[in-house]
């Protein structure tokens, strides 16, 4: 499958002769650079590499390359907010490559076909304890096991997955997909122990004979807030009270455990983050006739991703923007209207209104249970999470931390990247050395490309359940077909890295470009090269740089 049309046209100044003469002043050099998608990926995926393989229809090989960095592609293809696509150079021409959709296809295909990861490393005899089985813990376990270490995950809950399971509803994260990808991690030799809370980390490390520990406890404790209440509403945080008030994290957790609380016909959700969106949409699915999200700022300043709000609105969730809950009287919420100042902060107006509801869900953010670490590690004063160094080690030697446990943005993909980084640093710590990241650092931007071919192909749209079917926890978004995944992968510009389009070979007037065979790219014959820049000016992906003769020596 070719991504380019045969009627190639070139810029009129391609054969500029300003550099041609008896002495060559510049020479072309093939040089790989960093694609913006790779650079933006918190999990450090080599996106461009597996897209190239998917374009060629080599799906299993593409999956193998993908899981070198991320063991949960089917999950990430569903729940990652894909910053790679925001950085994709193609977005400046028309539409970004739908990277997440191709990733999901590869993950799903692996589960469907039963592909096995290729791991063949000698065992090191080193043991690592991982506390928490969310994305950070699973990722760290995966990478440590691939490095030959013995790994045990201890999880306090009855099922693994952390916030992937207990924080994301099934209509976004199907549980069979999650279970199967976790099982792939366990199948390579990772040990998982459930219903085991680690309260004393040093004791667990010593008694288990572990050489290192990675703490990956997720933020599953809802932030509290004091709202003045009358006697009829006080102490109603316990489910079943006169006026049910429940934390969003607890609400989603109860649903996952089959203990969904009854919240009545009219439910208010207080907060403007992604968890508030999930809780509101879940309440509708569980029978609420009306769900109202109350948020102190406007939509522009809400922390939830805008598309999450759009989907909630499409499903029937109502929004009361620029309001705070001032007090609760029985089942009546007293709301105060706000204005937004120049810094985007909400300011009280002194103007009030009331809202009658049957229950209230608090979605004001999450904290980490720091009980196991508060007397062991140095904590960040603001976030109350573990302080780590550049190698992800805490203040206690041999104990590392990542994911929600450290000061950082809290997303599945960031946590997955933390797990990988921690694994590599733990591996070097166990060998007495230090991990150093290598690879290209020069990022290729849109203006660096020479796009002389048609760029108008539209992105592939994933199939979606019609709105009238959004009444249960069936998955809303569908996946791509093999043909669609191959097409979508072919939309990649391969920014900064040669993909053997033969453009340089065809454009060189001196026949100075030598083809080395498929997969081996090209080289220049500098005895023939005049430095005319023809190859450089046509290279669509900017994989050729021009250097002065002095600097190239």
| Phi/psi of residue 205, nearest 5 degrees | -65, -45
> Nearest 5°: CA angle at 235, between 234 and 237?
115
| Phi/psi of residue 178, nearest 5 degrees | -60, -50
pLDDT at residue 130 greater than cutoff 60: yes
The alpha-helical segments, DSSP class H, found in 432-495 are: 482-489
* DSSP conformational letter for 229: B
Q: Model confidence over 44-86: pLDDT tens digits?
A: 999 999 999 999 999 999 999 999 999 999 999 999 999 999 9
CA distances from 192 to 114, 142, 266, 397, 424 (A): 21, 12, 41, 24, 20
Q: Model confidence over 133-171: pLDDT tens digits?
A: 999 999 999 999 999 999 999 999 999 999 999 999 999
The alpha-helical segments, DSSP class H, found in 372-448 are: 412-431
CA distances from 549 to 28, 400, 533, 542, 546 (A): 10, 48, 13, 20, 9
Both tokens assigned to 2: 């070719």
Q: Model confidence over 407-454: pLDDT tens digits?
A: 888 899 999 999 999 999 999 999 988 777 776 678 999 999 998 776
- Give the span between the Cα atoms of 95 and 88, in whole angstroms: 9
φ/ψ region of 132 (left if φ > 0, alpha if ψ in -120 to 50, else beta) reads: left
pTM summary value: 0.89
Both tokens assigned to 357: 């509801």
The alpha-helical segments, DSSP class H, found in 345-472 are: 412-431
Q: Model confidence over 266-296: pLDDT tens digits?
A: 999 999 999 999 999 999 999 999 999 999 9
pLDDT at residue 337 greater than cutoff 80: yes
pLDDT at residue 183 greater than cutoff 50: yes
- Give the span between the Cα atoms of 220 and 233, in whole angstroms: 25
pLDDT at residue 30 greater than cutoff 70: yes
Residue 17: strand, helix, or coil:
helix
pLDDT at residue 352 greater than cutoff 50: yes
For the chain, what is the mean pLDDT? 90
pLDDT at residue 359 greater than cutoff 50: yes
pLDDT at residue 235 greater than cutoff 70: no
Pairing of strands 221-222, 366-367: antiparallel
* Higher-scoring residue by pLDDT: 69, 379: 69
pLDDT number for residue 14: 40
- Give the span between the Cα atoms of 527 and 508, in whole angstroms: 13
- In DSSP notation, 113-135 reads HT------------EEEEE--SH
Which of 290, 242, 286, 294 lies closest to 267 in space, CA to CA? 290
Q: Give Cα 186 to chain centroid, integer Å.
A: 22
Longest dimension (CA), the chain: 95
β strands within 271-331, DSSP E:
290-294, 318-320, 323-329
Residue 548: strand, helix, or coil:
strand
Length of the chain: 553
* Higher-scoring residue by pLDDT: 243, 169: 169
pLDDT at residue 226 greater than cutoff 90: no
Which of 333, 368, 353, 365 lies closest to 245 in space, CA to CA? 333
Of the chain, the percentage scoring pLDDT greater than 90 comes to 76
* Higher-scoring residue by pLDDT: 323, 22: 323
Of the chain, the percentage scoring pLDDT greater than 70 comes to 92
């Amino acid at each position: 499958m070719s991504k380019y049309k045969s009627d190639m046209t070139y810029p009129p100044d391609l054969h500029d002769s300003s550099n041609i003469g008896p002495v060559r002043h510049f020479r072309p050099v093939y040089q790989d650079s960093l694609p913006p998608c790779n650079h933006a990926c918190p999990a450090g995926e080599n996106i461009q590499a597996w897209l190239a393989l998917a374009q060629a229809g080599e799906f299993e090989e593409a999956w193998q390359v993908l899981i070198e960095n991320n063991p949960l592609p089917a999950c990430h293809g569903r729940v990652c907010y894909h910053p790679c696509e925001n950085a994709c150079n193609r977005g400046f021409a028309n539409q970004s490559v739908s990277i997440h959709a191709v990733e999901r296809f590869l993950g799903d295909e692996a589960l469907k076909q039963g592909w096995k990861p290729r791991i063949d490393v000698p065992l090191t005899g080193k043991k690592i304890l991982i506390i928490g089985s969310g994305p950070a813990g699973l990722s760290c376990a995966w990478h440590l096991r691939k490095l030959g270490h013995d790994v045990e995950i201890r999880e306090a809950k009855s099922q693994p997955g952390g916030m992937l399971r207990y924080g994301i509803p099934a209509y976004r994260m199907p549980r069979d997909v999650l279970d199967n990808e976790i099982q792939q991690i366990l199948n390579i030799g990772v040990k998982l122990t459930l219903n085991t809370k680690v309260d004393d980390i040093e004791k667990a490390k010593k008694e288990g004979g572990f050489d290192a520990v990675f703490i990956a406890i997720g933020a599953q404790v809802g932030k509290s807030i004091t709202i003045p209440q009358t006697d009829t509403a006080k102490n109603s945080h316990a489910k079943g009270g006169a006026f049910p008030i429940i934390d969003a994290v607890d609400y989603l957790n109860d649903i996952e455990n089959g203990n969904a609380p009854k919240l009545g016909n009219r439910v208010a959700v207080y907060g403007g983050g992604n968890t508030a969106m999930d809780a509101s949409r879940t309440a509708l699915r569980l029978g609420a006739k009306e769900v109202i999200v109350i948020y102190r700022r406007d939509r522009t300043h809400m922390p939830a991703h805008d598309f999450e709000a759009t989907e909630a609105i499409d499903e029937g969730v109502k929004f009361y923007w620029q309001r705070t809950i001032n007090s609760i009287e029985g089942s009546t919420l007293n709301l105060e209207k706000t204005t937004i100042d120049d810094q985007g902060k909400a300011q009280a107006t002194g103007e009030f209104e009331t809202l009658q509801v049957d229950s209230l869900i608090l979605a004001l953010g999450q904290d980490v249970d720091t009980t196991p670490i508060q007397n062991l590690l140095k904590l960040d004063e603001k976030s109350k999470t573990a302080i780590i160094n550049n190698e992800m080690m805490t203040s206690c030697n041999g104990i590392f931390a990542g994911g929600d446990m450290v000061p950082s943005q809290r997303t599945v993909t960031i946590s997955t990247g933390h797990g990988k980084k921690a694994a590599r640093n733990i591996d070097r710590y166990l060998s007495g050395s230090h991990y150093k990241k290598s690879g290209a650092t020069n990022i290729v931007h849109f203006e660096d490309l020479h796009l002389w071919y048609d760029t108008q192909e539209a992105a592939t749209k994933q199939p979606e359940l019609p709105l009238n079917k959004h009444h249960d926890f069936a998955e809303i978004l569908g996946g791509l077909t093999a043909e669609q995944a191959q097409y979508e992968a072919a939309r990649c510009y391969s920014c900064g890295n040669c993909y053997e389009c033969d453009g340089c070979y065809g454009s060189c007037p001196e026949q100075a470009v030598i083809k080395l065979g498929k997969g081996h790219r090209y080289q220049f014959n500098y005895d023939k090269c005049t430095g005319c820049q023809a190859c450089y000016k046509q290279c669509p992906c900017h994989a050729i740089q021009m250097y002065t003769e002095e600097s190239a020596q």
